[in-house]
Amino acid sequence: MARRQKSAPPEDYTEKIIDIDVETEMEESFLEYAYSVIYSRALPDARDGLKPVQRRILYMMTDMGLRPDRGHVKSARVVGEVMGKLHPHGDTAIYDAMVRMAQDFSLRLPLIDGHGNFGSLDDGPAAARYTEARLAAPALSMTDHLDEDVVDFVPNYDNQLTQPEVLPAAFPNLLVNGASGIAVGMATNMAPHNLGEIVAAARHLIEHPDAPLEDLMRIVPGPDLPSGGKIVGLGGVRDAYATGRGSFRTRATVAVEQLSARRTGLVVTELPYTVGPEKVIEKIKDAVTAKKLQGVSDIVDLSDRTHGLRLVIELKNGFNPHAVLDQLYRFTPMEDSFGINNVALVDGQPRTLGLVELLQVYLTHRILVVRRRTSYRLRRRRNRLHLVEGLLIAIVDIDEVIQIIRSSDESSAARARLRSIYDLSEVQADYILELRLRQLTKYSRIELEKEQEQLLREISELEAVLGSEERLRAVVSDELAELSAKFATPRRTVLLESEAAAPVRNQLPVAGRAVKAALPLEVPDDPCWVLLSASGQLARTADREPLGEGQRVKHDAFTSVLASTARGEVGAVTSAGRMIRLQVVDMPALPPTSGTPNLAGGVPSSEFITLERGERLVGLAALDSVLALGTTQGVVKRVQPEYPLNRDDWEIIALKPKDSVVGIAAATDEDELVFVTRLAQLLRFPAGSVRAQGRLAGGMTGIKLPAGDTVLHFGAISAGDDRAVVVTVTGAVAAADTSGASLGSAKVTDLGEFPLKGRATAGVRAHRFLRGEEALSLAWAGHGPARAAAANGVARALPTEHGRRDGSGVPLSQRIDAVGPGLLGLVGSGGVGAGGVGAGRVGSGSTQHDGAAPAQDLQDGQGTLL
């Protein structure tokens, strides 16, 4: 390869070497670079809240005419215009700034209307060649009146074009949309705020220039983040508003929901600012893998465009949802910290500003903008008035004016003659010379006089605004109010003074106690009641406080009331003679109550038990007590509690063909057993006469049935219970008159009216049928008071008077589908009806009935029962 020859220097060349200190050169160069980054790139101007690249994007889009009422254009076109004319840097930086101004999760009031994929909190945007953009409506208020000399224009990078030094900014953009940026040796991080609150604070400061920070904080209590969520602890917010520096914690918005009968979940609908769902999911999985987070079984992202963010965190059974939520706050970004550092440029210098200073800088700028705009408009109107006055002078003697112009050899001579004859200025004379003849008509004179009057009024108003500082500030305040009414939206972020004031929506009770810090992670094994309503609702209480009579509620006629613990087990007995093991912790917990538990918070028992065709749920039973059961064919059996430990489903009686279990009850030798048949026969005999058998035995004869009769109800009564009652209800029959069908009749009788007899006898009559009645449809015997309900759980009333043993019932005006025990006097570890069954149709489905008022001879549906 040939070596390049150095050419000789010219003859007049003089070598001059300057020694420069490297340290000094580095310091000066670095300072120049740092100043360039601070002033020209990273920090926003406190007046319009924009960095240079953002300001240039908005100005160029305005210059291109990309208004909200026009079509979108390719983002690459905007980026190219900005880069080629105003911002000589990479297209990536320009597009990134443009994308952020279009993201509603980054800015509280987006300035660009984007069309296409502008990214999310977890993913970046599509390339500029794919997306489209135009100005959003609020951006117009940022650039309005640029053509009215409201701000100074400076040369662009090559001195061929000009650009605004700052935008007019009709609203405090820096406070509304916040800002973030890293310069050399400093950074800014400002939180978004609510437009309505910021405008109200600015107007208050206009009216009261010396207003203290406390007054402004009553109007602006804290940031309003685009993603909503909660801000916990406002001490750091106060520090930031006072000094410009502070921090606060943001939390996700979470609701505890019953995802299914057995599963509880935490549903996240709002996340902290700048935190995306994929980041949360990843951190939760990492924490579960590292065994830092316990109780989470699954997490599903159900977010969509229609319903927004919905992150479902499914919990394992037996874990306290509030304790798991505390772990999520600790180990995942569901709780995040936001550091406020209000650094912005003021007169070209970076300053740290509090809330009052930020509003004062903005208002000073806005007042100057309105003053310059008013001065510009005043000049324009004065100039126009000067021309109109000259025209009016010329129109008075229009013929002579035309003659002067026609007789002049050149325009300069005509101008001079007009000025000398009519005392016109040079501007007026030139304007007359340029007019067309059709503008010098009589009609034109009328218009000119009207225009003159209008101009005089406007000039007077503009002079009054410029002559009064108070009126000038009032104009600024009114314009802010108009903009707020147009663009302000309700607050999204909830502000909480402390963590103690941060409840979880739909909060579930924790063993009847208030939710506090350091909650046990797993649900404690506290005593509770397990409840099964006659309408098929299943639930547990938060504690085992005595359950008493209260205002009647839906589903308050109970089939079973069992004493258990939150982490215990109970058995569900079906009509096919099967017993199914159920975990109490899987059942939804009801809020604590001093009266009747509201099972509207329960779930259908079909969510826990799968029944075969024709099979129904009879009731619940404790797994550690001797269980008595009766069948439709009159068989009685007492079962020893010797159930398999390794199975969740087993048989407890060997049934004969076409036989089925009709009732169950926990019964000791001292208790009494009661059969009630469809033909209204009742048999009461000692439980001790039935020996306990193994679970595969077939039982023995309990009641002797005549042909065509079957057992309707079976239950157990404590011996000597003087509050025990028997409820019998007949079914619907044809009425004797033509008014329609009757709903049957109901009767309540003291159990003491029926004699104690021996097992395998026929019993005695319990209900005398009225004309047209043939059989009972419902029956129940147990500790009073009794309750009745419709199939959908709506309360129904029973007769108030106790009838004779063999008496007839009181006609019904409402259908009764279930009867069960009341809860008055239910204390201790046992309970009335524990393991017993109320007559009714318990199962997965129910027939809907309305809640019509009962007959006059019955109690009202919300009154006191027996």
Give the catalytic positions in this structure.
Answer: 130
**CA 157 to chain CA centroid, nearest Å:** 48
Nearest to 223 by CA among 202, 249, 254, 243: 249
Backbone dihedral angles phi then psi of residue 599, each to the nearest 5 degrees: -80, 10
- Could you tell me which of 818, 826, 813 has the C-alpha nearest to residue 857? 813
Residue 454 φ then ψ, to 5°? -65, -45
Encode burial over 754-776: b for 16+ CB neighbours within 10 A, e otherwise: beebebeebbbebbbbeeebebb
Residue 842 CA: distances (Å) to CA of 9, 388, 418, 632: 111, 94, 109, 16
Q: Across the strands, what pairs with 617?
A: 574
Q: Is 228 helix (H, G, I), strand (E, B) or coil?
A: coil
Backbone angles phi, psi at 458, to 5 degrees: -65, -40
Long-range contacts of 862-866, Cβ-Cβ distance < 8 Å, separation of 24 or more: 862/551, 862/552, 862/795, 863/552, 863/797, 864/549, 865/549, 865/552, 865/785, 865/786, 865/787, 865/797, 865/798, 865/822, 866/725, 866/748, 866/784, 866/785, 866/786, 866/798, 866/800, 866/802, 866/822
Taking a C-beta distance cutoff of 8 angstroms, is the pair 206, 217 a contact? no
Q: Name 264's Cβ contacts closer than 8 Å, sequence gap at least 6.
A: 256, 257, 258, 315, 321, 508, 588
Classify residue 17 by burial, with Cβ atoms within 10 Å: 0-12, 13-18, 19+.
exposed
Residue 667 to residue 828: CA distance in whole angstroms: 17
Element (H, E) at 255: strand 253-258
Q: Assess contact for 792 and 552: CB atoms under 8 A.
A: no
Cα dihedral angle (448, 453, 457, 458), rounded to 10 degrees?
A: 0
Residue length of the chain: 866
Q: Read out DSSP for 35-96?
A: HHHIIIIIS-BTTT---HHHHHHHHHHHHTT--TTS--EEHHHHHHHHHHHT--S-HHHHHH
Rounded (5°) CA angle 196-201-206: 125
666, 834 in Cβ contact below 8 A? yes
Interatomic CA distance for residues 842 and 844, integer angstroms: 7
Task: Decide if 66 contacts 113 (C-beta within 8 A).
Answer: no
* Relative orientation angle of helices 355-396 and 469-487, to the nearest 10 degrees: 110
What's the DSSP call for residue 696? T
Element (H, E) at 385: helix 355-396
The set of residues, in sequence order, having a beta carbon less than 8 Å from that of 374 and lying 6+ positions away, is 462, 465, 466, 472, 475
Peptide bond into 10 cis (omega under 30): no
Angle of CA points 3, 4, 8, to nearest 5°: 135
First to last CA, the chain: 117
DSSP conformation class of 840: B
Four-CA torsion 472, 475, 479, 485, nearest 10 degrees:
130
